[in-house]
Copies of this chain bind each other. A is one copy, B any other.
Amino acid sequence: MNTAAVNTTGAPPAEPWSPAELEARLRAVGEEHYHHRHPFNIRMHSGDLSQAELRRWIVNRFHYQRHIPVKDALITAKLPTSELRRRWLRRIQDHDGPQEGEGGIERWLRLGEAAGLDRETLLRADSVLPGVRLAVDGYVNFCRLRSPLEAVAASLTELSAPDLMRTRIDAFERHYQWIEPEGLAYFRARVSQGRRDSREALDLVLSWARSREEQESAVAALRFKCDVLWSLLDAVDRAGRREQA
């Protein structure tokens, strides 16, 4: 699916950015639009969420977490060589675990348990909000339908994730001591996994996006992904305000 804009102006195509310029533009998208700036996230990290709000976030964010290996399998199916697929497969394994009882999805279930939610509630997913379902479906379908470049570029929110994870671990330890500390294992694991994954994806994007059109599609893909994460928090935030109203 070629989604690049068709040049109808008759003007010569724009010069490509240098790799450094493209990287700077990608990082700027994360700086401006990643969900670390979302009001709900700011309240979370300031210790202002009630137990009900934090549990609502955990249940709804789990709907996103459990779809990560799905979108990564769809990306794997787009990669043209054994070497690239092998690298991307590691991401699926990070979330599904090398065996039962391990991996990121299991760690998120334990975060839920540490916050007083039973895993059946998380797995049943019947309280997942419509806006969260739409955001997650949107992201999975983006990875299903777009170019390998766009699908990989969308993963570059990982550039911003490790810092967020460290702030979150501090915030949880300080403000939400009712959550058992071993519940934070997911966040701890993501600090190094996110660094490694984002470095790898950034290298791919910088080497694949050669024309200006491709570079712009990569920046737009990352912006789209920021919108997905932002919309997820919007839905969780609004649900809380509706309940209080």
Tell me the A residues contacting B by CB distance below 8 Å.
Answer: 69-71, 73-74, 76-77, 82-83, 85-86, 89, 92-93, 95-100, 103, 105-106, 144
Contact = CB atoms under 8 A, between A and B. Distances in A.
Most chain B Cβ neighbours within 10 Å, of A74, A82, A83, A95: A82
A82 B105 contact: yes
How many copies of this chain? Answer: 2
A143 to B, nearest CB: 9
Nearest to A66: B82
A95 to B, nearest CB: 7
A73 B71 CA distance: 10
Nearest to A143: B77
A73 B86 CA distance: 11
5 contacts: A74-B77, A83-B100, A85-B96, A86-B99, A89-B93
Contacts of A73: 73-74, 76-77, 85
A69 B92 contact: no
A95 B77 contact: no
A89 B86 contact: no
